[in-house]
């Protein structure tokens, strides 16, 4: 059985993202397009349009050409949008790096993406020069010093790559996801149909722009609709609530931990958040009970959650502007989108209420992984069906429910952490013989990574965690280490994560029923389940 969207279809193709934004700018004029949440500085639509054309011209004058890649290493600020859209208008593709990433991580992404130009926040400028040099980047600029001159009319080829976010897919190391203008524009039109964004909306851009949730859902969809987008460079609960109230935000998209804050933080009761009309959660599952609590606290707002992947340009399902979603559901299919529920054992299609792997097809589905045809073929078949790696079902009303993940990704506050990436790093430690990384449930972050390690010598858990922390972004840091004598594997050598997860749950049960040691693990040698107390 194939489920289809109940929404009327949207137009596919025929425009690039800069064209959509420039069209919105003509209609919006001097209306605020972007507001810097930290400084209060306002960029009007007229100014944004001027900046897009002049940055496109300035980059072209420096040799930036169609097909080149520009990397952004900066937090959410208005200039992020100006430079990214300017690079796209010049025919280039944009990849975003996490501001919290290490130089090593950024250099790896720059190298893999084939980056020509790197633009970084002033605070990251020195590190950017080093990372750019290590990756062979042609030019590096500070965000406030990007070349701009004259005016360049945006290129109109919607088959050109627009953004290159990095994702681990259903497993493995991070890969560049090629999303063309055709993909992004389709996603924007789908979101406008379901969320019904317009010039009267104000959206707070909390999700980072290097992530598809931040870039497509907030920046691209918001600006294409003529809405005002308020940027937030870093999350702080009090500042977050202050911005919601000050700018009378109507549309908010947040990960589940922030949804929990809205549902329970005492400051919410003292804030005037009556302007909120739609609260959408995404990036990780939002529990049905939390959704009910949130809806009760904000009776004037539609509350729901969406579901998708980087590979679907953020959305396969979304909440509806008027109705939100049924509690526990991730909403219904966006326009032009099909869904199958597939039995993993037989490959046959399943019906309403039956659980299987969710497969998606639509114009928002990626072109493929950059330079990785084998990885692309593993997740995307020749008929355009994307195997999401999520286990779910669809009820008779068309509500989609995601009940579990078949894929191995760990979701830390909606960020993707690939076990393979951490395993590769930890395995390079001289005192580690073998390693596997598994998730642990966490109230604040949803999940956190735990390393299961076979040591080759004397090794302290705290020492290993500190060693990893120096080399990865904060959200990738290992929060606990469990020492074992061996890693269970299949005859072909694949890690049996199911057994490791069972042992992890048993470890948590034992820890909950026994006093926790005052100090961390002493020595790994001969230890079956030594673990740091810093969890």
Give me the pLDDT at residue 526, please: 35
Q: In what order do the strands lie in the sheet with 2-4?
A: 2-4, 338-342, 356-361, 386-394, 400-405
* Residue from 426, 447, 452 nearest 437 by CA: 452
- What's the pLDDT at 409? 80
Contact 412, 447 (CB under 8 A): yes
Whether the model pTM is above 0.95: no
CA–CA separation, 416 and 168 (whole Å): 7
What is d(CA 154, CA 327) in angstroms, rounded to the nearest whole number? 43
Kindly state the DSSP code that residue 334 receives in the 8-state scheme.
P
Alpha helix segments (H runs only) across 205-327: 212, 221-224, 237-246, 256-264, 266-269, 288-297
- Helix segments in 359-447, DSSP class H: 373-379, 419-427
- Distance, in Å, from the CA atom of 449 to the CA atom of 479, rounded to the nearest integer, reads 6
pLDDT digits (tens, 9 = 90+) for 70-89: 999 999 999 999 999 999 99
pLDDT value, residue 492: 47
Q: Residue 47's pLDDT is what?
A: 98
Give the Cα separation of 477 and 49 in Å (integer): 40
Q: Which two tokens stand for residue 473?
A: 């972004």
- Other Cβ atoms within 10 Å of 50 Cβ, number: 16
- Two tokens at 264? 């329970």
Q: How far apart are CA 183 and CA 12, in angstroms?
A: 8
How much is the pLDDT for 525? 32
Q: Name the burial class of residue 296, with classes exposed (0-12), middle (13-18) and buried (19+) by CB atoms within 10 angstroms of its CB.
A: exposed
Sign of the torsion angle spanned by Cα atoms 468, 441, 423, 357: negative
Per the document, the length of the chain is 535
Across 362-431, where does the E strand assignment appear? Answer: 368-369, 386-394, 400-405, 410-412, 415-417
Alpha helices for 298-418 (secondary structure H): 373-379
Distance, in Å, from the CA atom of 212 to the CA atom of 291, rounded to the nearest integer, reads 23
Domains along the chain with CATH numbers: 17-31+42-155 (3.40.50.980), 410-513 (3.30.300.30)
Q: b vs e for 67-86, b when ≥16 Cβ sit within 10 Å of the residue's Cβ? A: ebbbbbbbbbbbbbbbbbbb
Gap between the Cα atoms of 186 and 167, Å rounded = 20
Buried b / exposed e across 6-28, counting CB within 10 Å, b at 16+?
Answer: ebeebebeebbbbbbbbebbeeb
Q: What is the pLDDT of residue 345?
A: 84
Query: ∠ CA 100-103-109 to the nearest 5 degrees?
Result: 90
pLDDT score of 532: 42
Residue 531: helix, strand or coil by DSSP?
Answer: strand
Residue stretches of the chain with pLDDT short of 50:
492, 519-535
* 368 Cβ contact partners less than 8 Å away, ≥ 6 residues apart: 178, 376, 380
Burial class (CB in 10 A: 0-12, 13-18, 19+), 344: exposed
pLDDT at 171: 65
């Amino acid at each position: 059985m194939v489920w289809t969207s109940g929404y009327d279809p949207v137009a596919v193709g025929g425009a690039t993202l800069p064209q959509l934004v420039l069209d919105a700018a003509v209609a919006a004029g001097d209306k605020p397009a972007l507001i810097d949440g930290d400084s209060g500085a306002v960029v009007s639509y007229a100014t944004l349009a001027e900046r897009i054309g002049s940055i496109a011209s300035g980059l072209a004058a420096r040799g930036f050409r169609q097909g080149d890649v520009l990397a952004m290493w900066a937090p959410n600020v208005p200039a992020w949008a100006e430079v990214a859209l300017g690079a796209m208008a010049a025919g280039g593709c944009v990849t975003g790096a996490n501001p919290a990433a290490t130089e090593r991580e950024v250099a790896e992404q720059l190298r893999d993406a084939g980056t020509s130009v790197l633009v970084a926040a002033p605070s990251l400028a020195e590190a950017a020069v080093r990372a750019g040099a290590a990756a062979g980047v042609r030019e590096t600029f500070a965000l406030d010093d990007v070349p701009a001159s004259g005016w360049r009319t945006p290129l109109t080829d919607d088959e050109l790559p627009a953004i290159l976010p990095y994702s681990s897919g259903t497993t493995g190391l991070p890969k560049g996801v090629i999303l063309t203008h055709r993909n992004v524009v389709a996603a924007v039109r789908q979101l406008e149909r379901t969320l019904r964004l317009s010039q009267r909306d104000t959206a707070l851009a909390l999700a980072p722009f290097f992530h598809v949730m931040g870039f497509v859902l907030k920046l691209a969809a918001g600006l294409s609709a003529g809405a005002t987008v308020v940027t937030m460079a870093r999350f702080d609960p009090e500042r977050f609530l202050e911005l919601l109230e000050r700018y009378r935000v109507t549309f908010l998209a947040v990960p589940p931990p922030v949804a929990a804050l809205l549902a329970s933080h005492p400051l919410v009761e003292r804030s005037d958040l009556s302007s909120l009309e739609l609260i959408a959660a995404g990036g990780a599952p939002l529990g049905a009970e939390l959704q009910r609590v949130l809806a009760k606290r904000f009776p004037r707002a539609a509350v729901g959650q969406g579901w998708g992947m980087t590979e679907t340009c953020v959305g396969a399902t979304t909440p509806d502007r008027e109705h939100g979603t049924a509690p526990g559901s991730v909403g219904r299919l966006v326009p032009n989108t099909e869904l199958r529920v597939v039995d993993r054992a037989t490959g046959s299609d399943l019906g309403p209420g039956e659980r299987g792997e969710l497969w998606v097809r639509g114009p928002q589905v990626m072109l493929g992984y950059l330079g990785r045809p084998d990885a692309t073929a593993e997740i995307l078949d020749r008929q355009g069906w994307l195997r999401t790696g999520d286990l779910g079902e669809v009820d008779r009303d068309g509500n989609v429910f995601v009940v579990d993940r078949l894929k191995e990704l760990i979701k830390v506050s909606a960020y993707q952490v690939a076990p393979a990436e951490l395993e590769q790093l930890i395995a390079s430690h001289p005192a580690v013989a073998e390693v596997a990384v598994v998730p642990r449930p966490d109230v604040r972050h949803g999940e956190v990574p735990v390393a299961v390690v076979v040591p080759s010598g004397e090794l302290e858990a705290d020492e290993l965690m500190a060693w990893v922390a120096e080399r990865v972004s904060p959200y990738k840091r290992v929060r606990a280490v469990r020492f074992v004598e061996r890693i269970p594997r299949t005859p072909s050598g694949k890690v049996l994560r199911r057994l490791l997860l069972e042992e992890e749950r048993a470890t948590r049960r034992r820890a909950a029923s026994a006093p926790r040691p005052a100090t961390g693990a002493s020595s790994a040698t001969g230890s079956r389940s030594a673990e740091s107390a810093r969890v």
